[in-house]
A and B are shown apart, each in its own frame.
Chain A
Amino acid sequence: MRESHQSSAAALPRHAEDLLARGHRLVLVAAHVDQDGPRVVYLFASGPPDTRVELNVRLDPDRPEVPSLAHLSFAAGRFEREMRDLFGIVPRDHPLPRRLVRHFHWPRGWYPMRPDAGPPPAFGEQEGPYPFLEVEGDGVYEIPVGPVHAGLIEPGHFRFSVVGETILKLKARLWFVHKGIEKLFQGRSVAAGLPLAERISGDTAVGHALAYCLAVEEATGTEVPEEAQRARAMLLELERIHNHVADLGMLCNDVGHGILNAHAQRVREQLLRLNRDITGHRLLRGGVVPGGAALRALPDPARLKAIGADIREITGLALGHSTVRDRFTGTATLHTAAAREIGCLGYVARASGIADDARVTHPFTAYGEQFEVPVHDGGDVLARFLVRAEEIDVSLSLIEHFGDGLAAPMALLAPPPAPGAGPRSGVGLVEGWRGTIATRVELAPDATLTRVKPVDPSFFNWPALPVALADTIVPDFPLANKSFNLSYAGNDL
């Protein structure tokens, strides 16, 4: 159930503190510009039982300011910086009032998410200096890497301050791929919003599409048939395994053990072809649609079993190789306390001993009795490898569980909702393969989208990478980075 409350700006920190103390986490902060001025929605959630609480704060149009919640929640501080960069809403008393999304060349005073922003202007007067923190000392030097890298990876600039080979400090500067997705959603019909949601982060087509659809369905009061929900849950797990198996292979490749990567990519290719049979698209686009799900075929349980055995052999060989295991063990350790403080999600959190999973806390369909979330508490590359290897097994049994009783081809759609039914706003919480994806949607009376705010788990997890890398050596950075495998595109909408 979702509760929605109005709050004054002044009372916001008190309400937020109360909710956080009751075990909720801050899921999402979305700014809006309504007819009568700016409004900020703070969404908190906890579970089980699935509880979602919203605080709506209306702001003075002439002085859009909110009291900062950064001292209560690290993630809130980042949401506030994002909001200031895109909407010009100022967080008062923010401990780190630096820009986050805005790059150096964005013109001063231009806030792209405001309704009157217009098309992007030419690069203008720069908004002050944009320095990196300099580490000084005997023998300290800097290694700048990126944003263009040697491999086929997304753009990000990393600035290492190093003594010898040991990383003293890493500063990651991301936000090179701002596409204005949130703005592109505005004014689209619900159906036209789906392709956009599927492309927020290409490897998370199902996760983002599902979060978007769940939000839209809540907003319109649509009752999705149970079978369609099961089909969606199955697609979600199919997406998890093809991503996990690819990353497990690449982790082996990064320590120079290429043969396991070759075989992991072979298995991934089999899964992608299976995906094409099931939804008509290798990355599972088109399977989840607003109001239901569409399947062309069902995965063959015997084939999935064979793939599962194949993957277990690959992970077994990796973990049994003394050099590979040595490279994984103790590398880039993220301690539980740090992961909790930062608000990490997904396998990054679960490898650091935090057993959070939206499939348990916010289930959209029954996951069955046997469903258990693998958790490790080492916090190192090995723990993240193990969590993901074990998640593949869980996912395979879930696919079997959900596929049982489904028929294909199927295209199950809910009856179209009565126009104007539902609360006109909705939230979708989905455990994508990287972690919990949250999407909040608001609809106009004519059922077009007025505001869609997706949050990829990468937004929460990126700050954990530099923390985990303290005292790691430079040549281990690619391995550590791959073990987190955070999305640049999903982070920078």
Chain B
Amino acid sequence: MSAAVGYAAVAGQVVVVGAGAPLLTGWMRQVRARLEGRAGAGVLQPWRDTRKLLRKEPVTPVGTGPAFRAAPALLVATTVVAAALVPLLSTDTPVSSHADLIVVVSLIALGTLALALAGLDTGTAFGGMGASREMTVAALVEPTILLSVFALSIPAGTTNIPAIVTGAVHEPARLTSPAGLLATAALAVAVLAETGRIPVDNPSTHLELTMIHEAMVLEYAGPDLALVELGSQLRLTLLLGLLSSLFVPWGIATSASWAGLAVALVLFAAKLVLLGAVLAAAEVFWAKVRLFRVPELLAGSFLLAVLAVASSYFLSGAS
């Protein structure tokens, strides 16, 4: 019985993230369009784009190797595995003992690395330029994600994410502690950078020279492009989901019950819709910072993460 619920929770996480990611992107675009006074293409547009791209014939540029061909599948695969591990719906699943913080961050980094290698593999100026920029950003973002979640793992005494989340559900004061707030801020900035949102990158630009993420994937077409697009939508959903699990964990099922799972599913969707709307609304009021200011922004968020770890260590040590 409990095993069945656990497997259903894992399957539910993968299906919800997989099917919901394009919808979340469509929702965010729609919110943004409405706020800017435009009609918008509708929430379903990313799914329509995916369907269109999947029907096209696969085309790969001459001279590209396995790195280019494997990257889209690798990107989607790593994100799906991470989506299964991270406690989005339930902390009590058959895989929750493997859901270590470092594993999840490494999976995300692996996807980034695969795309960067694919960008280099094309041999074009844009691929190389995008890869170089993406790696610069990633080098600053990955430690920030690690450190900010690490700050939350100190009170829990483990780097196992379900354990951290369960601890926070039972003891909400951990989240409103200085460490919790600093870690939230640091992780939020890191998620913006990792998913290529304004103010770090502009996902809707057509200007090749300003791109970070898009520059790496310029050579993709057809089904491969559909996978790359789906991959980045999945990452956005996963990282926003991780953010919500860590900082608003209420509603996540902590025991194996069907009712708890159903509630968790509804609340998870509601949290993501809200978080997506907030992010989209914030983007309307922001502008993209100059590329050379991006490291300053990310260094700032890294500093917040370091402070979160320090305060978590000292404050919990004092108590």
Q: Which residues of A contact B (CB under 8 A)?
A: 141-145, 149-151, 165, 252, 254-259, 262-263, 266, 321, 323-324, 326-327, 473-478
Contacts and interface: CB of A to CB of B under 8 A. Distances in A.
A474 B128 CA distance: 13
Contacts of B4: none
Nearest to A256: B288
B83 to A, nearest CB: 29
Contacts of A150: 206-208
Given A256-B288, A326-B290, A478 B209 contact: yes
Contact of B202 (A145, A149, A252, A256): A256
A258 B203 CA distance: 12
Nearest to A327: B290
Nearest to B37: A262
A377 to B, nearest CB: 23
Interface string B188-207: 00000000001100101111
The 10 closest A-B pairs by CB, nearest first: A256-B288, A257-B287, A478-B207, A323-B287, A143-B125, A262-B36, A150-B206, A151-B206, A256-B202, A475-B210
A150 B35 CA distance: 26
Contacts of B290: 326-327, 473, 475-476
A478 B287 contact: no
A324 B206 contact: no
A88 to B, nearest CB: 37
B36 A258 contact: yes
A263 to B, nearest CB: 7
How many B residues touch the partner, as a band?
A: 20 to 34
Contact of B288 (A255, A473, A477): A255
B36 A259 contact: yes
Contacts of A324: 287
Nearest to B210: A475
B210 A321 contact: no
B289 A143 contact: no
Contact of B210 (A258, A266, A478): A478
A165 B292 contact: yes
A254 B199 contact: no
B206 A323 contact: no
A262 B32 CA distance: 11
A145 B129 CA distance: 12
Interface string B124-164: 01101100000000000000000000000000000000000
Nearest to A253: B205
A165 B291 contact: yes
Contact of B125 (A141, A266, A475): A141
14 contacts: A142-B125, A145-B209, A151-B206, A165-B292, A257-B288, A258-B32, A259-B35, A259-B36, A259-B37, A326-B293, A475-B290, A475-B291, A478-B207, A478-B209
B55 to A, nearest CB: 22
Contact of A259 (B129, B284, B292): B284
A94 B202 CA distance: 46
A323 B289 contact: yes
Nearest to B128: A141
Contacts of A141: 125, 128
Contacts of A474: 129, 209
A143 B123 CA distance: 12
A473 B291 contact: yes
A252 B198 CA distance: 14
Interface in B272-319: 284-293
A326 B297 CA distance: 14
A321 to B, nearest CB: 6
B207 A151 contact: yes
Contacts of B202: 256
Given A266-B37, A475-B210, A258 B284 contact: yes
Given A256-B287, A327-B288, 15 more contacts: A143-B125, A143-B126, A143-B129, A145-B209, A150-B206, A255-B287, A255-B288, A256-B202, A257-B286, A259-B285, A262-B37, A323-B286, A326-B289, A475-B209, A475-B291
Nearest to A255: B287
A255 B207 CA distance: 11
Contact of B208 (A149, A252, A326): A149
A381 to B, nearest CB: 12
Contacts of B291: 165, 473, 475-476
Contacts of B206: 149-151
A238 B278 CA distance: 40
A45 to B, nearest CB: 38
Contacts of A257: 286-288
Nearest to A259: B36
A258 B36 CA distance: 8
A323 B288 contact: yes
A245 B205 CA distance: 20
Listed residue (B32, B204, B287, B291) with the most chain A CB atoms within 10 angstroms of its CB: B287
A257 B204 CA distance: 11
Contacts of B36: 258-259, 262-263
Contacts of B199: 256, 323
B241 to A, nearest CB: 25
Contacts of B285: 259
Nearest to B125: A143
A256 B286 contact: yes
